[in-house]
Amino acid sequence: MNFLKLTLASTAALALAACDSGADTEEAMTADEMAMTEDATAPGSVVEVAQNDGQFSTLVEAVTAAELGEALSGEGPFTIFAPTNDAFAKLPEGTLETLTTEETDQLGNILQYHVVEGSTDAETLTAAIEEAGEEGYEVTTMGGGTLTAMMQDGSVVLTDATGQTATVTATDVEASNGVIHVIDTVLMPE
């Protein structure tokens, strides 16, 4: 009889230990799954975010042609004024093809003119514009050029070196290495 009691007690203890171990394993799996979910939902680099948004397919092709993908996938942070496909469509016929096939250095200069070092969200940019007053807020680009940012009819408008303007149509698209602001026109350096 004592043998039977001892056997039952041992079996119960093993069962409880197995249940407890299962709970720890389940908690660990849940924590691992949560970490994987967070990684999957975290935004990628500015390049990856652009690649995953169809309105930037022309921009992604241009970044690839100019071999800037690796640089813009780096640590950053960067603020990107990203022209949409429609913005690129405004360029004179044949311009984009020439830039992506024959004049990739010039394309690189144009694209760098859309990049600012540091991460500047819309609130910070708007405050800087308001503080600068009627002259506008000067933004130095990665390529060494200057953009002038002003407010017009409640929107941020950028003026490039040629006097052409681009309106910011969407702001604060987050990326792991910066922020993207969507613009409706390709900006041109000197």
Cα–Cα–Cα angle for 77, 112, 125, nearest 5°? 55
Give the tens place of pLDDT for each residue, 6-21. Answer: 333 443 443 444 445 4
pLDDT for the residue numbered 177: 96
Q: Is residue 1 scored above 90 in pLDDT? A: no
Q: Domain ranges in the chain?
A: 1-42, 46-183
**Which of 111, 132, 117, 104 has its CA nearest to residue 78?**
117
Sequence-distant (≥ 6) Cβ neighbours of residue 172 within 8 angstroms: 121, 122, 179, 181
Answer whether 0.75 is exceeded by the pTM.
yes
Q: For domain 46-183, is the CATH number 2.30.180.10?
A: yes
Give, in order, the Cα–Cα distances in Å from 148 to each of 37, 90, 109: 40, 21, 18
Longest dimension (CA), the chain: 99
